[in-house]
Amino acid sequence: MKLTCHLFTDVTNNYTMEFKIDTKEKFTTLTPQVTHIYDNMAADLVAACTNILSTSVKNVILNLQSVTGIDEQAAIAITQTQQAFYDANASFVICELKPAVEDNLEQWELLDILNVTPTESEAWDIVQMEEIERELLDSDDIEFAIEKE
């Protein structure tokens, strides 16, 4: 299911935050349709992501393919959002970073904290592996048999 969602407008500064939302069986891909994520857009980006936590498909892939710049507070908000997802036993993966955005995240010492993949396909793989890991760790059916000799 693909949706386009107009989420944020700041008339004073003429900023608009729009997303493409694509929901699959195990994850939702959220793709901002802006070239720069400003600090004042961070709350709306976080809200768009965390709203997904209340749905049946809790995992998020944040595809930043069109984002060529990001403000530091917005990047920090994304980092905090990722942690909230993992605290809620859900995945949050960022993909398709432009070099300038990656450089900024590295400069602010956030890149190593974030779960980042080069492509959306690799992000899908990470989400699916983490889902399998959660299923295995949460399963009560796992029994370890000790053979007595």
Q: Say whether pLDDT at 33 is over 90.
A: yes
Global confidence as pTM: 0.83
DSSP state at residue 95: E
Residue 94 confidence (pLDDT) above 80: yes
Section 126-145 average pLDDT = 79
Q: What is the 8-class DSSP label of residue 141?
A: -
Q: Strand, coil or helix: what is 35?
A: coil
Under CATH, which architecture does the 2-138 domain have? 2-Layer Sandwich (3.30)
Assigned token pair, 56: 């049946």
Beta strands in 25-122 (DSSP E): 27-32, 36-37, 59-63, 69-70, 92-95, 116-117
Give residue-wise pLDDT tens across range 102-122: 999 999 999 999 999 999 999
Q: What's the pLDDT tens digit per position in 40-79?
A: 998 888 999 989 999 999 999 999 999 999 999 999 999 9
List CB contacts of 83: < 8 A, sequence separation 6 or more. Answer: none
- Residue 31 bridge partners (DSSP): 20
